[in-house]
């Protein structure tokens, strides 16, 4: 049975632009995301997609409103507790892979697990399993510089899922790839999400990819509104 994994209620965020002007990016935004649900977040650049994702992932705080993850209100949590929740409950994927260049693909996936207290042998086994799921297990011993862009991003997916989060947030995860590679990488992401049953919110400009998700939401005037139906 699905449960609400992410709930954003009345989220507002304003940024100062110079001394005399403000930009309200989010204005009472509401969003609910259930386990096993894959939702596309579609909006033009500058509309607030990244801000919404950062607030949902506890990387930023709203000026007003509440964030709940797994039914637990995150409002008022201290920095240390927020860090623990991010490490254990949330996986984040960026447009650029941000892999550590001096470490191999496998090591990039092992490191966040070690930081979470997982034994090395278990962490290495999970890293190899995740790499196999996205078809790059043959690159486990390669550093990012020796891999293609698509391979690097698949490794980034695996790293985001290393600690078995229940919530996945992705900010244009295929936006830096050519169309053919983007489709292949998205297929790998889709298989990972479906195979693990986590909740996923994915910001994308690619309407074809968005249409393959369960539903689409958009940002309009700082509010989250329903988009065109997705795959479900």
User: What pLDDT digit, counting tens, does each position of 182-231 carry?
Assistant: 887 788 778 878 888 889 999 988 888 889 899 999 998 889 998 766 55
In a domain, 63, yes or no: no
Tell me the whole-structure pTM to 2 decimals: 0.88
- For the residues of the chain, what is the DSSP string, one character each? ---EEEEEEEEEEEEE-SSS-EEEEEEEEEEEEETT-EEEEE--TTSSHHHHHHHHTTSS--SEEEEEETTEE-TT--HHHHHHHHHHHEEEE-SS----TTS-HHHHHHHHHHHTT--HHHHHHHHHHHHHHTT-GGGTT--GGGS-HHHHHHHHHHHHTTT--SEEEEESTTTTS-HHHHHHHHHHHHHHHHHHT-EEEEE-S-HHHHTTSSEEEEEETTEEEEEEE---
In a domain, 68, yes or no: no
Question: How much is the average pLDDT of 129-143?
Answer: 91
Between residues 144 and 20, the one the model is more confident about: 144
In a domain, 223, yes or no: yes
| Nearest-10 Cα torsion for 102, 104, 110, 114 | -30
User: What pLDDT digit, counting tens, does each position of 49-81 carry?
Assistant: 889 999 999 999 999 999 999 988 998 888 888
The contacts of residue 54 (CB under 8 Å, 6+ apart) are 60
Structure confidence at residue 8 (pLDDT)? 96
Domain that holds residue 127: 38-47+75-229
How many domains does the chain contain in total? 1
In a domain, 157, yes or no: yes
Q: Which residues of 105-140 are buried (b: 16+ CB within 10 A; e: fewer)?
A: bbbbbbbbbeeeebeeeebbebbbebbebbebbebb
In a domain, 57, yes or no: no
Q: What is the CATH number of the domain that holds 112?
A: 3.40.50.300
In a domain, 115, yes or no: yes
In a domain, 142, yes or no: yes
pLDDT bucket at 47, cuts 50 / 70 / 90: confident
In a domain, 67, yes or no: no
């Amino acid at each position: 049975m699905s449960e609400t994994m992410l709930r954003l209620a009345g989220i507002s965020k304003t940024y100062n632009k110079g001394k005399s002007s403000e930009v309200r990016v989010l204005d009472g935004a509401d969003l609910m995301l259930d386990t096993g649900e894959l939702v596309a977040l579609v909006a033009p650049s500058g509309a607030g997609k990244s801000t919404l994702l950062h607030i949902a992932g506890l990387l930023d705080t709203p000026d007003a409103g509440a964030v709940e993850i797994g039914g637990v209100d995150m409002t008022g949590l201290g920095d240390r507790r927020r860090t623990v929740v991010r490490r254990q409950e949330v996986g984040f994927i960026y447009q650029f892979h941000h892999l550590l260049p001096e470490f191999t693909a496998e090591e990039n996936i092992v490191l966040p697990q070690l930081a979470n207290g997982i034994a090395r042998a278990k962490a290495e086994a999970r890293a190899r399993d995740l790499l196999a799921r996205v078809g790059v297990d043959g690159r486990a011993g390669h550093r990012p510089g020796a891999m293609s862009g698509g391979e690097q991003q698949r490794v980034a997916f695996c790293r985001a899922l290393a600690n078995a989060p229940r919530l996945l947030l992705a900010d244009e995860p295929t936006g830096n790839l050519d169309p053919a590679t983007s489709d292949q990488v998205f297929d790998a992401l889709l298989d990972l999400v479906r195979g693990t049953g986590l909740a996923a919110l994915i910001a994308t400009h690619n309407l074809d990819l968005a249409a393959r998700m369960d539903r689409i939401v958009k940002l309009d005037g700082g509010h989250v509104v329903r988009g065109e139906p997705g795959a479900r």
